[in-house]
Amino acid sequence: MNIETFPEYAAATRHEPSFVYIGEVWEMEILARAFTVLGCANLIISDGLSFLADRLVRGAPHDPFVHVSGVDDDHGSVDISDHLLDDLKEGCAQLAVAIAKDQCSSTPRILDAAADHASRVCREICRLA
């Protein structure tokens, strides 16, 4: 692509993604594990959310999407990029339905405590501006 062909693009100012404080690493891991247990076959989630869940569960590098303060501390705080926050909010809406179905089944795969905690975390995520 020749940038001069798109002068409106060339003239546009570009900003680094902003980050929103979202919670603690261990809360995000519980949320990621809930997504993992239910599996992508049961949830249609974005690539960004799949990436985040994979990074958190496996402890792999997650920048530039997520900043963790106190990386060596499981209780470190998490800042998440705003575009991934939109993915996460959409995923939480789907996760709420999936958790309810899982908990109502005769053989639930998610422990009650983890399901309750994931629901609470999602509720807080959905309240973020």
- At 66, is the secondary structure helix, strand, or coil? strand
pLDDT for res 117 = 92
Q: Kindly give, in sequence order, each residue whose CB lies less than 8 Å from that of residue 71, ignoring residues fewer than 6 positions away.
A: none
Q: How far is CA 123 from CA 6, 113, 127, in A?
A: 42, 15, 6
Q: How remote is the C-alpha of 97 from its chain's centroid?
A: 16
Is pTM beyond 0.85? Reply is: no
Kindly report the average pLDDT of the chain as a whole number: 80
CA distance 25 to 94: 21
Reported as half-sphere exposure (CB side, CA atoms, 13 A), residue 112 has a value of: 1
CA distance 77 to 21: 8
Asked if 51 and 65 touch (Cβ cutoff 8 Å), the reply is yes
Asked if the model's pLDDT at residue 104 lies above 90, the reply is: yes
Q: Quick one: pLDDT band at residue 87, thresholds 50, 70, 90?
A: confident
- Would you call 39 exposed, middle or buried from its count of C-beta atoms within 10 A (0-12, 13-18, 19+)? exposed
| Per-residue tokens: 81 | 């990029």
pLDDT digits (tens, 9 = 90+) for 8-32: 656 666 566 688 888 888 888 888 8
* Per-domain residue ranges of the chain: 15-127
